[in-house]
Structures are given as structure tokens and as C-alpha cells.
Amino acid sequence: MRLKDKVAIVTGAARGIGRATALRLAEEGAIVIAGDVDILGDEETTDIIHDHGGKAISMRINVSDRSSVFLAVDHVIREFGRIDILVNNAGIVRDSRLIKMEEVDFDAVINVNLKGVFNCTQAVAPHMVKQGGGSILNASSIVAIYGNFGQTNYVASKAAVLGMTRVWARELGRYNIRVNAVAPGWIRTRMTEGVPDKVIAKMMDWVSLRCMGEPEDIANAYLFLASDESDYITGHVLSVDGGARV
């Protein structure tokens, strides 16, 4: 097992990529703290892990609320004594064209997708420094690199996450803390369920493999970057996009 007895926090673990990541890390022996505002979905995730013989607890974490984040991290430290892996996966979309976007929707996306990553990392990093190492993994997106129509707020948040990833890799490397990002392409999740078929077909013309990815594809990338197999990789952005726009 590549992550035997490692303690891992996965945010946005109630469904989709977050759930797939929590399950994959648990399969490899990690003790998973599944965090989400959707506690029912969160508990479903931990139930699946338990049914497969893994170790996990569910915890309500609102990443945009600093007090929620710091209380959760303190609880994990009291319970397990360390945090080895942080997967900053929680995210939302509130799409609209620039001229129609409401301020409340811009702020909501920035607060979860960007400030949430900052909050969780700032809460966890001092514990990783004290213990002498760790792996921090941030969810970015292919749109952070190429942009996307109607996603000013989402693209801004995901592009900023790439910048923070590189800054933190520089700042925390001396403490044996690796910081990397994953940039998913078109993945079959609840976020993409409502996209019209004709739009999906057009997007697939830009994907070399001509198909959408699955949450497990991103989970496998997180697993690699969390494991010792990537112990000389930091400040990297791993695109998992089927060869989009190659």
C-alpha cells in the first residue's frame, strides 16, 4: 500500500472527483478525513470506504469559513497527531458571461475555489512544517490555462490556484512539503451533467482521446502526487485532460 497509515484530508469529498479521490487514497491505506458542507454525501463516501475495509471519518467543512476549517484541522490533529496529505478539491461553479455576471456569483466562486484553498492550506501547513513534511494538492482546471466562455469567476479562481501552488512550493520546500496542482479537463461529474450534448461534442473535437474523463482518472493523479513515487516533484501542474488542445 502506497499510503499506509498516512492521514489525508480531502475537501469536497461528498461526490464526484472528491469522492473518487477519497476512495482511492483509502484503497492505498490512507486514513481519510472526508470533508464537505454536504454531510450526508460525505457520510455516504465514508460508508463506502468502510464497506471496503478502509479507514475514514466524515467531517462537515465549509472551506470558505476560516473558523470551520481551523476547527476541523485542530480536531484531526488531536485525533491522529498529524496530517500527511491535503487535497484541496472543493469547488463550485456559477457561470455567466461577463456583462451579466452578478457580484454575488463572482464572490461565491472566489470564496470557495480560491479563498477555500488558501484557508485549508494555511491551517494545515504549520502542522506539516512541525512534523517535517507533507503533500499539498490543489484542484485547478484546464480552463485556467486556456480560458472558457462564460466562466470569468471560475477561470480566475483556478488560474490563481496555479499561482499559489508555485508560491507555496517555493516557500514550503525547505520543510520537505511538496505542493502540486492537478488540472482536469472535461470530466464526467455533476458539474458537466447539464452541458448540452452539442457542446460536449464540440469540446471533444479538441480532445485527442475523443472522450470525457472519469473522476477516477483525477483520483489516480492525486494518488501519484500524494505518494512517495513523486517525492521529487513540487510546484508542478499535472494536466489530466485526454490531450486537450495538443
User: What is the CATH classification number for the domain harbouring 191?
Assistant: 3.40.50.720
- pLDDT at position 13 is 98
Is residue 2 a part of any domain in this protein?
no
- pLDDT at position 245 is 67
Long-range contacts (CB closer than 8 Å, 24 or more residues apart) made by 160-164: 160/114, 161/88, 161/113, 161/114, 161/117, 162/237, 164/117, 164/118, 164/121, 164/138
Is residue 133 a part of any domain in this protein?
yes
Which of helix, strand or coil describes residue 187? strand
- Active-site residue, from 154, 175, 222, 232: 154
Distance (Å, whole) CA 71 – CA 48: 25
* Total domains, the chain: 1
Which is it for the CA torsion 152, 155, 159, 164, positive or negative?
positive
Is residue 53 a part of any domain in this protein?
yes
- pLDDT at position 204 is 82
Q: Is 154 a catalytic residue?
A: yes
Question: DSSP states of 25-64 as a string?
Answer: HHHTT-EEEEEES-HHHHHHHHHHHHHTT-EEEEEE--TT
pLDDT (tens place) for every residue of the chain, 246 residues total:
999 999 999 999 999 999 999 999 999 999 999 999 999 999 999 999 999 999 999 999 999 999 999 999 999 999 999 999 999 999 999 999 999 999 999 999 999 999 999 999 999 999 999 999 999 999 999 999 999 899 999 999 999 999 999 999 999 999 999 999 999 998 988 777 767 777 777 778 888 998 889 999 999 999 999 999 999 999 999 999 999 866
Residue 225 CB: number of other CB atoms within 10 A? 23
Is residue 12 a part of any domain in this protein?
yes
The parent domain of residue 215 ranges over 7-240
Distance (Å, whole) CA 184 – CA 187: 7
Is residue 38 a part of any domain in this protein?
yes
Is residue 109 a part of any domain in this protein?
yes
- pLDDT at position 206 is 84
Distance (Å, whole) CA 155 – CA 174: 30
Is residue 48 a part of any domain in this protein?
yes
Is residue 1 a part of any domain in this protein?
no
